[in-house]
Structure formats: structure tokens, C-alpha cells
Structure 1
Amino acid sequence: MAVLTLVLGTPFVLGDHPVRWESGSALPRIVTGDPVESATPTTEDPGVSPPSSTAPQPSGTDALQVAKPWKKGMPQWGVQFYWEEEKDKRSDTFIEKQARKHAEYLIGLGANSVSVSFPFFTEGRTSNVLTAGAKTPSPERLQRVLKVFKDAGFRTTLRPIMDEAALNPPAGWRGNIEPASRSAWFTSYEGFLTPYLKAAERAEATTFVIATELNSMEGDPGWAALVASAEKTFSGEVAYDANWDNYVSGRINMPVSHLGVDAYFPVKVADTAPVQTLVDGWNDWLDKKAKGPLPNITISETGIGAMNGAYHAPGDFYTKNAVNPKVQANWYKAACQVVQERKMQGVYWWSIWFDDDPNDAPDDKVASRLDFAGRPLTEKAIKSCFNSAYAGPGTQTTN
């Protein structure tokens, strides 16, 4: 209790990683060096056939459908969903209806892409064991949700992300794990991932993110065999999402087909800074890696708190300064402008909690300041971004 009080009561000073609402815790084969609860495993049969929906299925004019379904070469205008299973484990009918509610909301924003992030668990920074836990959705349930989005015309991504509860954050986080045996770690990780890769294949997902923000594990020879195994199971794009610090400071050596970047870098400006000043901050950060167009890069995750002081620590989940919706909206405007001007593949906003109603305004007494659904200024910025004339990275060839 003392530790919990200390962690939750102390404003988090953002260092080399974002703190997000995750379980209460705080590349051709691409080598990107130049521009261009102690958990209990679930028992899920990886060979189950595709689930048939038990929720009412609309037809005709009532059917959910993206106005312009994503095709290769188009920008990815997306949102990250984070899904933890609740203690009462809502019914399959509920989760399908919930997915439809989210799809309807996203269609209203003009989105064409969805990424579903979900937690898996480890026992500590040096642990070799990676498992599903009580809060990890089963492969079959994730498949049901992906199918709803796919049927509505969205580009879909499945994205497991290591929960940090056992890592003693903020000092310990997923980016500085050091398994006692890396070979055992990769064996365990492959065992966990395979049923989810099969679910993504059955759901016809476009992308499977093999890992997210694992700074200390990047470049390990073990990835080659793991990615090769994943590609035998999943026929879509296998990606890796790097953390913002490692992206600009070094060579991201991962044997995957695509690189995304989780962007939570600080910009030391006042809350009243105009959008162009924030654009300059984004470009200053990206220029540390490469100047000019970045057509091979996706902003796989970005967001910011709707509060005073957020530009100094965009990924800070714990702090709850005075609410300032304009700070969040202007950050979104700036990020969108940079994605378009630098011909990037797109952007995914963090995040919407899967069990939430996106049409409700956030309760700022308890909700994360990073929540954007139900904040009119931010929603207006997203709609403007997603409905822009930007045709995507395929409109030019500069690398």
C-alpha cells in the first residue's frame, strides 16, 4: 500500500518512455538506421474455427461501413484501442456490440484504421516467462472484435503490449527488461504469441505488431527466428513499434516488414504555444533521425493529456493538472500536420479504453487526461485531420 501510494501520489517525471493507462501501471525486413499478477495462462484452442456472431447483424443502409475503406498507399488514419478483460468477463454479444459502437464512432471521425492493443504479463524485469493473464482477452474474443472492424471496412492491427505492473514502474518498464535467459524468453514469447497470430490470420488483420517499446531487446538475434515463425502463421504485415527515444538515438535493428514509432517526446513550450510552434517541436525531434519525407514510418501511437503542462511530458498518465482541452487539440493538429508534410504513412491516437462508451465525456475526476473521446475540441481536430486531402505516402517517391 505504501508503494502504491508513493507511485500514484507522485507526479511521474517522463524520462525515456510514456506512462499510459495499462492495467493500472503507469524494416524490406527493415533495419532503420537511416532515413527511410503473476499471470495464469489462458487455455485457448489455437485451432478454433472462426466464430459466428451472436449479435444482431444490420444490413442495407443500417450496416456500418467506412466511407473510404483503406487501400494500400492511403494514409492510415487510426485509433489505438486498449482492451483489458474485466473481472466479470463481459459476454461475446456485449463485446461485439461494443466493437460496433466504437466502429460507428470512428466512422463519424473519418477514421479508416484500427489497432487493438491488449496486455500480456511477465513476472519481473529478469523473468524469462511471458503469459496471458486474467486481463488478457482470449484469441477468439479478439478475433470477434477484429472481425467487426474488418467487416466495417477498417484496416486492422493486433498489438500485444507487455504490462508493466510487475516491473516496478517507473524505474522498471518494458523498455529495460533483462531476461536471465534470452533464449528461454524468446521460446516463451513465441508460445504466447502463436495463438494470437492465428487469430489475426483468421480475422484477416492487415498487421500484427510483434512487439512494442522493447528498447533493451532490440537487435537481439532471437528476433529472426521468432519473426520467421510469425510469418509462417500470419500472412499479413509483421511490424515493430519503437519507442520515441530509441527511434531517434540509434539504429532500430529489427527483422520486420514495417516500423512504427510511439511518439511521446517532450516539447518545452508554454501551454499557449501556437500550433506552428508545436509543429516545429515535432520536426526538431524527427530531424534528429532524418530530415525530409518519412514515407516508411507510421506514428503508431501518440497522444497527450488535455491539461496544463502536458507539452513537457506528453505521455504522463499519473499527473492530473488543471484540464486544458486546447493543449490536447493543438497537439493533435500539429501531429497531423507533420504526418502530412513529411509524407508519413499515418497516425494512431492513444487511446480509447475498449469497455468505455466513446460518446460520453470523460469524467476528469477519475479519467486519464489522455482520454480524447468526448472532448469536442480534440474530436474536431481529429475530424479535420482524417478528412484532409492528404493522399498518403504513395503520392511521392522521395525516401
Structure 2
Amino acid sequence: MTTFHTAKVNGVSFVSSRDSISEKHVQPILSTQANYTAIMPFGFISDLEHPELHYDSDRQWFGETRQGVRQYISALKKSGFNIMLKPQIWVFHGSYTGHIEMKNEPAWQEFEKTYKAFILDFAMLAEEMQVSIFCIGTELEKFVQHRPDYWFELISAVKSVYTGKLTYAANWDEYTRTPFWSQLDYIGIDAYFPVSNMQTPTVEDCLIGWKAYHKAIEKHSETYNKPVLFTEFGYRSVDFSAKEPWKSDRSMTATNMQAQVNATEALFETFWQEDWFVGGFLWKWFHDYENSGGANNNQFTPQNKPVEAVIKSYYKTFK
């Protein structure tokens, strides 16, 4: 077993908003004992085959622009947080980014050009702001599958402008086929693994559900001699929350706080004590704490829900 002995990344994924942020918005994150935040500026494409990506536009929310990202990072670092900068693509109508696939070679080349500009702009900002981790992409399986040489070149280009740690956020069913882990510092996984079919999954059932995945992830870490980082993890406060944890649509509506608590506890119990596992970023946290989450919210955020106590306990224990 490979041992890395690194301090744990106890992170939250901080959602961009229309507004700048202040100490008021940062304080509730500190209360969770988190030490990292992920900042996620978005670039937009109109459909899965459209080669032009738009970003840093005055039509976007402040927190998604370069100016906003700089302000968010400054405010969070002032309170002692380390940062992962994680630029992502949003496909209009919410289509899954893993299915982005151009129709022909000219379209691929155009898409690659605009994606490289997007990533390098934020990589340079990450260097300027001394960001600890930079993520070069999120859940882009078909893009990686069809254009592997491009990704190796992109990584080299990022390394020419950014000197911090690098990762890529592979979907839970994608990471074993990602070809460039040897070029990065962390094996990044968006950890929405299905681990229980129960309406209210128990901790015990989720622990059993994790066993095979745990072994495979550890083996992958050993193969590449790289620590694993959960670039996203989390569960909705909803029935069957651990059955298909990636689901964010409105087909699941029954609020279930205990399901979220139990599934989250099992994930922490499975991974946080492992030396080859560096930590992860909880999905997701909104700046307006008082009006986020709560007893009637069935989405991912842990805010104002019982699961917050679970997160605080593990983040306080593993530092």
C-alpha cells in the first residue's frame, strides 16, 4: 500500500453567485472545520456538439467571471482557506458534459482551441492568486476518449503557467479509463458511486456497498503512485440517496435527512483514514447560508441540515 501522509483536504464546493462575498459568507464554512474551498467558474456551450465555449462574459454571474473568481479567492484566503480552482463547462439545458462530442475534425479543433483558452486563462489566474490545486476539467469522458493527445498537450501548457498541484475531475465510472493520471498530482474522482438500494440507506449497508469500489480505487492509486482526491462527493437529503447519487433532477422528491446523514457517514468511514486518500470537496455550498438548505430541502447542500454535524465531526478529526 502506498503511503503519502498528506494533510487532509476537507473541502466544500462553493457555488458562484451574482454577488461578491464577505466574511459573513465565509464564517459558516469555517464552522464546518473545512480547510479548502473549490471555486467553480463556468464556461458555456449551447449543445453537446457546439464547438465554441463562452466564458468571462458580462452576461454571467459575478462569481463566474475572472473578476469574481479573484474576489472570491481573496476573501476565502483571508480567512485561511486553501483553494482548488475548478473551471467547468455548462451545456445549455443541463446536458451531461461527459457526452460532449464534436461531429468532425474542424469542430474538434475549434472546440479544443476555445477550451484551451478557457483553461489557461484560469490557470494563469490560479498562479497569480497562489491557488493550491487547479483542476483541468470535469466529467469530460468523450472529449478525453476521442482526443487523448490533446489532453497531454493541454497539461503541458498548464504546467508552463501554473506551478501548483494538478488534478482532473473524472466521473465515478470514468476514472479507470482516464489516460493521463501519470501527468497529474492527484487522481480526481467525482465520487457518486451507487452503494445502496435502500430507501433510507443504513451506514452498514453503504459500508458494504463501498467495499469493491474502495479496493479498486486503492489499486488505481497504487498503479499510478498518486493519491486520490474526491473532487466532488455528497448525497441529496432524499429517499434512495445512495442508489444513484449523481441524480439532481426532480424525479426524486421525498425529503429524507437520515438517508443523507448515513450515506455521508459511510463515505467518511470508508476513506478519510486512508493514507493514500487525500480528501475531497463536498457538493455543494451556497454563499447565503441563512437561506440555504433547511428541513424542506431535498438537494445536495448540507446547509442547515443534520448532516452538517457529521461533516464537522470528521473534518475536525481528520486534519
Instruction: Name the TM tier (shorter chain).
Output: 0.7 to 0.9
Larger helix share, 1 or 2: 2
5 Å matches for 1:266-345? 266-291=194-219, 296-318=227-249, 319-343=251-275, 344-345=277-278
Give the direction of change, closer, same or farther, for the CA distance of 1:211–1:266 in structure 2 (3 Å limit). same
**1:67-123 CA distances to partner (integer Å, 9 max, x unpaired)?**
xxxxx9200001011215x4xxx4xxxx132xx233211211111111111221113
Instruction: Show the counterpart of 2:90.
Output: 163
Q: Does 1:129 align with 2:52?
A: yes
Question: Does the CA contact (< 8 Å) of 1:120 and 1:163 recur in 2?
Answer: yes
Q: Distance in 2 between matches of 1:107 and 1:280?
A: 32
Larger Rg: 1
Question: Does the CA contact (< 8 Å) of 1:304 and 1:331 recur in 2?
Answer: yes
**Aligned alpha-carbon RMSD (Å):** 2.4
Question: Does the CA contact (< 8 Å) of 1:336 and 1:347 recur in 2?
Answer: no
Instruction: Show the counterpart of 1:112.
Output: 35
Q: Distance in 2 between matches of 1:155 and 1:199?
A: 15
| Aligned AA (1:205) | V
Instruction: Show the counterpart of 1:62.
Output: none
Question: Does the CA contact (< 8 Å) of 2:202 and 2:259 recur in 1?
Answer: no
* Aligned equivalent of 2:21, options 96, 103, 110: 96
Give the direction of change, closer, same or farther, for the CA distance of 1:225–1:126 in structure 2 (3 Å limit). same
5 Å matches for 1:1-399? 73-84=6-17, 86=18, 90=19, 95-97=20-22, 100-132=23-55, 133=57, 134-135=59-60, 137-165=64-92, 169=95, 173-179=96-102, 180-181=104-105, 182-218=108-144, 220-248=148-176, 250-254=177-181, 255-291=183-219, 296-318=227-249, 319-343=251-275, 344-354=277-287, 357-360=288-291, 362=293, 369-375=299-305, 377-388=306-317, 390=318
**1:128 CA drift (Å):** 2.0
**1:184-233 CA distances to partner (integer Å, 9 max, x unpaired)?**
32211122223222222221111111101111122510112222221222
Give the direction of change, closer, same or farther, for the CA distance of 1:175–1:292 in structure 2 (3 Å limit). closer
**1:301-330 CA distances to partner (integer Å, 9 max, x unpaired)?**
011110112221212212342211111011
| Aligned AA (1:242) | A
Give the direction of change, closer, same or farther, for the CA distance of 1:338–1:108 in structure 2 (3 Å limit). same
Runs ≥4 in structure 1, deviation > 4 angstroms?
A: 289-295
Q: Secondary structure at the match of 1:270?
A: coil
Q: Distance in 2 between matches of 1:292 and 1:195?
A: 31
Give the direction of change, closer, same or farther, for the CA distance of 1:264–1:361 in structure 2 (3 Å limit). same
Q: Secondary structure at the match of 1:311?
A: coil
Tell me how many residue pairs correspond in the alignment: 302
Q: Structure 2: 5+ residue runs without aligned partners?
A: none
| Aligned AA (2:185) | S
Q: Secondary structure at the match of 1:233?
A: coil
**1:237 CA drift (Å):** 1.5
Question: Does the CA contact (< 8 Å) of 1:80 and 1:114 recur in 2?
Answer: yes
**1:364 CA drift (Å):** 6.5
**1:235-275 CA distances to partner (integer Å, 9 max, x unpaired)?**
21221111000124x35435333221001122233234431
**1:277 CA drift (Å):** 2.0
Scaled by the length of structure 1, the TM-score of the pair is: 0.69
Give the direction of change, closer, same or farther, for the CA distance of 1:194–1:76 in structure 2 (3 Å limit). same
Q: Secondary structure at the match of 2:117?
A: helix
Q: Structure 1: 5+ residue runs without aligned partners?
A: 1-34, 37-71, 392-399
Identity of aligned residues (%): 21
Q: Secondary structure at the match of 2:304?
A: coil
Q: Distance in 2 between matches of 1:79 and 1:304?
A: 13
Q: Distance in 2 between matches of 1:293 and 1:215?
A: 19
Q: Secondary structure at the match of 1:265?
A: coil
Q: Distance in 2 between matches of 1:102 and 1:337?
A: 29
Question: Does the CA contact (< 8 Å) of 2:15 and 2:286 recur in 1?
Answer: yes
Question: Does the CA contact (< 8 Å) of 1:150 and 1:205 recur in 2?
Answer: no
Give the direction of change, closer, same or farther, for the CA distance of 1:289–1:226 in structure 2 (3 Å limit). same
Q: Distance in 1 between matches of 2:66 and 2:53?
A: 16
Question: Does the CA contact (< 8 Å) of 1:309 and 1:321 recur in 2?
Answer: no
Question: Which one is further off, 72-81 or 254-263?
Answer: 254-263
Question: Does the CA contact (< 8 Å) of 2:221 and 2:228 recur in 1?
Answer: no
Question: Does the CA contact (< 8 Å) of 2:256 and 2:298 recur in 1?
Answer: no
Q: Secondary structure at the match of 1:298?
A: strand
Instruction: Show the counterpart of 1:59.
Output: none
**1:129-182 CA distances to partner (integer Å, 9 max, x unpaired)?**
12214226221220111011112211101111111225x63xxx2102112333
Question: Does the CA contact (< 8 Å) of 1:305 and 1:315 recur in 2?
Answer: no
